[in-house]
């Protein structure tokens, strides 16, 4: 089955700790995206990558970092510099078609 996986579904961390969220896809898509969603808010783009070994900042990149060493993987690190990291994080990808396909999301809670 082709798709996007994110793990874990729920993640708890202490304030001041860095945490890495996993995103893997086996759809052979070139482009991958990370979004953050807060209650009552739309999706806000954190980082995106059009191709392996290349990525660009989105609208709210401060306090986050990414890597794209493999086509299948686009992990997101939430650093201690992110002031308010508690949110629902969504990873997405697209290939030749224009629509983005989403993973199930990771709900991060910082205590």
Partner 1 sequence: GQNIDQPTEMTATEGAIVQINCTYQTSGFNGLFWYQQHAGEAPTFLSYNVLDGLEEKGRFSSFLSRSKGYSYLLLKELQMKDSASYLCAVLNAGNNRKLIWGLGTSLAVNP
- Site residues, partner 1 (CB under 8 A): 31, 40-45, 48, 50, 56, 58, 88, 90, 94, 98-105, 107
Distance CA 17, CA 39 (A): 23
Q: Which is nearer to partner 1, 48 or 74 (CB)?
A: 48
Which pair of tokens denotes residue 98?
């224009």
Distance CA 110, CA 2 (A): 31
| Minimum distance of partner 1 from residue 32's CB (angstroms) | 11
| Minimum distance of partner 1 from residue 103's CB (angstroms) | 6
Q: Which is nearer to partner 1, 45 or 77 (CB)?
A: 45
Q: Which is nearer to partner 1, 30 or 80 (CB)?
A: 30
Q: Which is nearer to partner 1, 2 or 16 (CB)?
A: 2
Partnered with residue 47 across adjacent β-strands are 34, 57
| Minimum distance of partner 1 from residue 43's CB (angstroms) | 4
Note the maximum CA span of the chain.
40
Which pair of tokens denotes residue 11?
């993640």
| Minimum distance of partner 1 from residue 62's CB (angstroms) | 18
Distance CA 28, CA 3 (A): 10
């Amino acid at each position: 089955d082709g798709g996007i996986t994110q793990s874990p579904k729920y993640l708890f961390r202490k304030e001041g700790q860095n945490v890495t969220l996993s995103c893997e896809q086996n759809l052979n898509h070139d482009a991958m995206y990370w979004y953050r969603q807060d209650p009552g808010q739309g999706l806000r783009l954190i980082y995106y990558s059009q191709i392996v070994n290349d990525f660009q900042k989105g609208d709210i990149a401060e306090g986050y970092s990414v890597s794209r060493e493999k086509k299948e993987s686009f992990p997101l690190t939430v650093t201690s510099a992110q002031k308010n990291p508690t949110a629902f994080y969504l990873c997405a990808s697209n290939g030749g078609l224009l629509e983005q396909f989403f993973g199930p999301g990771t709900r991060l809670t910082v205590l």
